Structure 1
Amino acid sequence: MSAKEASLHPLVACARGAETLRVWSVIVTIFGDAVAPRGGEISGPALAELTAPLGIGGGALRVALHRLVRDGWLERRREGRPSRYALSARGLAEFAPAAARIYAAGPAGEENLTLWLAEPGLAAPRRAELEREMAGRGAVALGPGLWLEQGANEAVSAELFGFHGAAGTPPGWLRARLAPEELIAAYRALGDDLEALGRRLERARPEGALAAALRVLVVHRWRRCLLRHPDLPVRFFPEDWPGEAVRAQFRALHRRLSVAADPWLDALIGPALQPLRLSK
């Protein structure tokens, strides 16, 4: 454990668990959960104030912001001395569908599925490119050149052939492919940490910056699990699937922490113009 990790507030350490935080990824979570509803723009100093309770130092923050601007996720502009940052068009396009899943009351209820098939014998480099593109859309690979995706989306390439409609009973091998053991273990670890945090919050009432930091971690870790698998009805997952129990924990903690976090964020960034609401 580093000295910085040892100095974390006990509630932050509890919410973080054994998770290794990638600063650039945490910033993406912050923009989605806290910045986008408040006009979509934040100053560098305000972002530093928000990330300090997470143990993120100024140097690590600057490196992560530089990377996100370089890679086209954020845009930077000067207003006086401090820089201001906002999601780019690419960032906004990625944020909208992810946010719909993160704050949804449950998984997709309508079985609106597409099975994509690539040309057999497609050259390995091109197939690898398609695999990356399909994974980026949340599709799950069922085999070489074969993907299952939620929704009736356009093909990423004319090389793909799609079959759209409802599915029959998912066989055991498909459920195992959609929810590998490492994903189930990640959900269970998150569930244990959220349960522990919930117990601590029965005795402690974090305010302002601490409540905002805790909410960032809760959203970040939920997002990290949720976006590792496609948005499919529960029947596509194993019988011991922990995802929906963890969803209930996430929603309860998000509501609890928002009571103190939202007024502090309004003062730091600006009032929420389009508050993110947990769907019913």
Structure 2
Amino acid sequence: MNSEIQQRLSAFRQKRRVQAGSLIITVFGDAILPRGGKIWLGSLIRLLEPLDLNERLIRTSVFRLVKEEWLCTETIGRRADYALTAAGRRRFEEAARHIYASRAPLWDHRWRLILQVGELPQKTREQVRSALAWQGFGMLGGECFVHPGADLSVVLDALVAEGLSSALSALLPLFAADSRSAMSASDADLVSRAWNLPALAEAYGHFVSRYQPVLDELQRDQRLALSDQDAFLLRILLIHDYRRMLLRDPELPEVLLPAQWPGQQARLLCKEIYRRLETASSRHLDTMLCVADGSTPVEDATLANRFSQDDPLSR
């Protein structure tokens, strides 16, 4: 019983190397932010132990995330809550706009460019590249970053929030009103130079092949004896795998994507599985999630059901 679901959970448990920090960020963004944004470390350990993540690994990963300024601590007596920092929250909220969206954005046919026009120290230059890549920018050469739809003012504000305000004087944001003449290349050629879409398409294909059997099983047996715990664990792995792909995806408008692009299929698949797991997984969080004072945070109704119910593509 539950063969496909149990196989997915078992496959994760059998991994020799697990990026526990990345998984913990997924848990914070998907499960903890809608419930006040903080959790007692002991509660986090209990939530993740069924995935065979031991207490030492979780503690080490959390402390590293604090050092990297993803998380911060709030001491309550002899216990401590952990919460996303302002920068960590902003990073996940940016990802969340893509994770829970119904479709890729429409395009106004104007490329957004950020040119490095001044000298930057090597470390700062790498930090800028990493921060812009996080926001979906592709690179043309070593000093030109490109995106089809980013809000450039928001992008620059994000760099300031990352502590990179000193780099702004070396960066020139602008619009290319006519991308073909401005860039001396067709849109398709520009996309192929700036992003590795074949590798991304392959990743989406693997995601679909991994999770389509899970959805088939959930649809086949409406009374599937799935525990609340397993529903939560599967929900976290689902969003974690999907989020990792979106970190590499510039969310290009459909007009810029190859025919039969698998990204939309993966998006709808993720949403449909998530909807089927949400009620049971929320019950598990009601039971297991608590903060340092022992109380259980109530889920923010405005952050529940974050996948849009009104999605014409899923009808």
TM class, shorter-length: 0.7 to 0.9
Q: Could you tell me how far 1:35 is from its partner in structure 2?
A: 0.2
The structure 2 residue matched to 1:195, chosen from 198, 212, 227, is 212
Q: Could you tell me how far 1:229 is from its partner in structure 2?
A: 2.0
User: Aligned residue for 1:153?
Assistant: 152
2:237 is the counterpart of 1:217: yes
Aligned partners of 1:110 and 1:233 also within 8 Å: yes
1:97-146 CA-to-partner distances (Å, cap 9, x unmatched) read 111111010112243641122228x5782644432332233211122211
Q: Which amino acid aligns with 2:170?
A: E
Aligned partners of 1:170 and 1:235 also within 8 Å: no
Q: Could you tell me how far 1:172 is from its partner in structure 2?
A: 4.0
Aligned partners of 1:176 and 1:238 also within 8 Å: no
Q: Could you tell me how far 1:230 is from its partner in structure 2?
A: 1.4
CA distance in 1, matches of 2:50, 2:193: 38
User: Aligned residue for 1:272?
Assistant: 299
CA separation of 1:16 and 1:165: change in aligned 2, threshold 3 A: farther
CA distance in 1, matches of 2:256, 2:225: 39
CA distance in 2, matches of 1:137, 1:200: 35
The structure 2 residue matched to 1:261, chosen from 278, 281, 285, is 281
After the TM superposition, which parts of structure 1 deviate over 4 Å for at least 4 consecutive aligned residues? 14-20, 165-169
Q: Could you tell me how far 1:259 is from its partner in structure 2?
A: 2.0
CA separation of 1:275 and 1:220: change in aligned 2, threshold 3 A: same
Q: Could you tell me how far 1:196 is from its partner in structure 2?
A: 2.0
User: Aligned residue for 2:41?
Assistant: 44
User: Aligned residue for 1:65?
Assistant: 62
Q: 1:161-180 maps to which residues of 2 (within 5 A)?
A: 161-164=172-175, 167=179, 170-172=187-189, 174-175=191-192, 177-180=194-197
User: Aligned residue for 2:129?
Assistant: 131
CA separation of 1:118 and 1:246: change in aligned 2, threshold 3 A: same
CA distance in 2, matches of 1:66, 1:255: 32
Q: Which runs of 5+ in 1 are unaligned?
A: 1-7
The structure 2 residue matched to 1:231, chosen from 251, 257, 274, is 251
Give the structure-1-normalised TM-score. Answer: 0.86
Q: Could you tell me how far 1:245 is from its partner in structure 2?
A: 0.6
Moved more, 129-138 or 34-43: 129-138
User: Aligned residue for 1:22?
Assistant: 19
CA separation of 1:133 and 1:264: change in aligned 2, threshold 3 A: closer
User: Which SS does the other structure have where 1:106 is aligned?
Assistant: coil
Moved more, 108-117 or 34-43: 108-117
The structure 2 residue matched to 1:83, chosen from 80, 83, 96, is 80
CA separation of 1:229 and 1:20: change in aligned 2, threshold 3 A: farther
Aligned partners of 2:215 and 2:273 also within 8 Å: yes
Q: 1:86-105 maps to which residues of 2 (within 5 A)?
A: 86-105=83-102
Q: Which amino acid aligns with 1:55?
A: D
CA distance in 2, matches of 1:248, 1:139: 24
Q: Could you tell me how far 1:165 is from its partner in structure 2?
A: 5.7
Give the structure-2-normalised TM-score. Answer: 0.77
Q: Which runs of 5+ in 2 are unaligned?
A: 160-167, 181-185, 290-296, 311-315
User: Which SS does the other structure have where 1:95 is aligned?
Assistant: helix
CA distance in 2, matches of 1:189, 1:18: 17
Moved more, 180-189 or 150-159: 150-159
What is the aligned-residue RMSD (CA, Å)? 2.7
